[in-house]
Structure 1
Amino acid sequence: MKWALFVAKIALLSSLQAQTEGQPALLDKVISHPGSYSQVCDVMSAPADLPYRAFQISGFSGASFSKANLAKIKENRDAVVKEIRARLLELDLKTVAKTPSEDPAPEENNDGDTYGCDPKTLNPLLLELIQETHAVEALPELLAVESKLVKGIADAKDDAKASPPLVSGWYVANEGGPEYDEKESDAKRDRRVNLFQARVAQRDVVMTIAVLLREKSYEPYLKSRIETAYAKGIKALVKTDGLDKFKPGEPLPPELEGMEIRIDPITKVPVARYSTVAIPYSRESRDEIRAAAGKWISEHP
């Protein structure tokens, strides 16, 4: 009996160790091969001053999480969030991204590139995971990453020899950027593009922090400039998009068929799933979100 009990304990410990060790592998897998792929016909673009896109991540490149991968993530939510927090702290923003191998068994493929992002870099899929898992525990690490982005961007602007922060998976065109110049060196072009994508990523990190606080209906966030602007923006969209005809629980009017509509929990107005509100970026609005996150962290040690 003692030997059987000993063997059972060893088996349990081995199982727990395997589960713990498996989370980095799971995180790497779902970011490298998210499972669902679509063709991207239009390049996303943004003006040079880069407003926030509330509340959508800007880096959609056709790759998204399949139902099976989302189920695995949610099944292992706490362990995955723990690994996400560790991964955020490991990011040095100097690593050149590697292109992942193609997904050997995509769950969905609509003529898209069958790979995701380099899991060792800051990328949109990592931020999507944070939002999907409602990982408010990751606020300290998100603040640290955002600070590194801001410092790296400032250093690159002040010093032409300083490399901008390196992120991957964001493919946003600069509407105010220069025309293609065949005489421009590859190094200069890469630096310019990398700096712009780093700024896009920084906006998305701030928005991810805002999303986590908004989900908690956290009062210091609800008083922020960003929430005020977002509420005003989606209320305007109700009229321009004809969403005022939407009634929960009733069939969609013909003109709204095919749209995914929900009631926003804060403003109580209907919102189309993929709608966004452009909100001008300012250092003040960014600092407000950081302050609200810092207050949340201090209240939830």
Structure 2
Amino acid sequence: MSTQAAPNPVALAARRLSVPAIAARKSSHEPIVMLTAYTARMAELLDAHCDILLVGDSLAQVVYGLPTTLPVSLDMMIAHGAAVVRGSSRALVVIDMPFGSYEEGPRQAFRSAARLLRETGAAAVKLEGGVEMAETISFLQRRGIPVMGHVGLTPQRVNVLGGYRARGQGNAEFSALMDDALAVADAGAFAIVVEAVIETLADSITQGVKCPTIGIGASVRCDGQVLVVDDMLGMFERTAKFVKPFDNLAERITRAAESYAASVRSRQFPEISHVYQAAAADRASSN
């Protein structure tokens, strides 16, 4: 039998980060980098720099121009989730469970989560809620579905909360949110997003739970950080207090569109290098 190597060996694809690898960051103290992604191309650009890509239900506002996340459907999350998985190869892909797809109980949540993972190829789901979601998180985790929790400001409950305000003010709310985080962690969540809470509460949660915390408007001492990618890129003029734009992509897109429009209106585009010419033989035969 010949031992000669194949002439064109195929390189093995890079292995994705796993749920256990992310959970282990709690003890290794290596910060977790997470951004949202909604399209294959954006996932491709972010993949090398992020540990987790979250297909967030924030696509409601970012992609569809909706006022809240409440109208998002499973079909919408599946379409965008599959695109992000196709566009990435390294980052762990987590998909938000949309409003109404899990609150009824563990069995409804399992059906929804199983569909999300089966039809997208993502590795985990994220759901909002605290003590009241502990049973559901445990049910999913025991059946092979990794769950990322989400406590603090939970946008799917905006109508109950009365707006997008910081949480954890006052002893009662501080204590209740601490209980939420502990319940979610004890139920088996592999990580918890902590959104828009006062810094001391974020620190207490991070110190008190065994799984990593991922802050957004929380504390630099969380085990990781997440932002909506369009906020991070400076696509919107109005953003939350916790957003730091790392670019002003909106301004750059506006300038590019202005330049394109001027070139079209002045007939400076397309130039000769951008149009197709007949081959020399074809030109000769037409003469």
How does the TM-score come out when normalised to structure 1?
Answer: 0.24
Structure 1 or 2, whichever has the larger Rg, is 2
| More helix by percentage | 1
Query: Using CA pairs below 8 Å that are at least 6 residues apart, which structure has the higher relative contact order?
Result: 1
How does the TM-score come out when normalised to structure 2?
Answer: 0.25
